[in-house]
Amino acid sequence: MDNVDRKILAELQMDGRLSLTELAERVNLSLSPCHRRLRALEQSGAISGYRAHLDAETLGLTFEALVFVTMRDADHDTVASFEQAVATIPNVLQAQRLFGDPDYLLQVVARDLRAFQKLYDERISTLPGVQRLSSTLVMKSVVENRPLPL
């Protein structure tokens, strides 16, 4: 990957809807070489997909919490079952396995406190292997959806 590839990636992180013509102009390439590089970046996995960034608040998802999960056991089957189950909950935007205690960090959104409580009680607390949950509310996002450093 060279500087031109990094420029392509930077431009697409800022605006994934750029036309190929606009992208080529921004990175100072003609259309064909830009298209070849773009396809190579997609095929290599450097670009894993394209999607729209939605505004949670506009969509009525105004409640955000971080949920810390401590597992009862860390054996392979329990961890796999937990990870498969948590992946089925649409309100869990991110689930990260951590070193140390707690075992997982979940970023969760909901319409309001009542919806979060229901999700917490009926889905999150019943996930396989969960021993303890602890949560904190997000006051505001300071940095989010930041492009990856290139």
What pLDDT band is residue 111 in, cutting at 50, 70 and 90? very high
Distance between CA atoms of residues 77 and 115, nearest Å: 30
Q: What is the pLDDT of residue 125?
A: 97
User: For residue range 7-23, what is the model confidence (pLDDT) as tens digits?
Assistant: 999 999 999 999 999 99
User: For residue range 137-150, what is the model confidence (pLDDT) as tens digits?
Assistant: 999 999 988 889 99
What is the pTM (predicted TM-score) of this model? 0.86
**Residue showing tokens 């392509």:** 8
The rounded percent of the chain whose pLDDT value lies above 90 is 93
- Mean pLDDT along residues 51-69: 95
Letter for the amino acid at 14? Answer: M
Edge-to-edge strands, sheet with 130-137: 92-97, 104-110, 63-71, 130-137
DSSP one-letter code for 120: I
Distance between CA atoms of residues 63 and 52, nearest Å: 21
Q: What is the pLDDT of residue 134?
A: 97
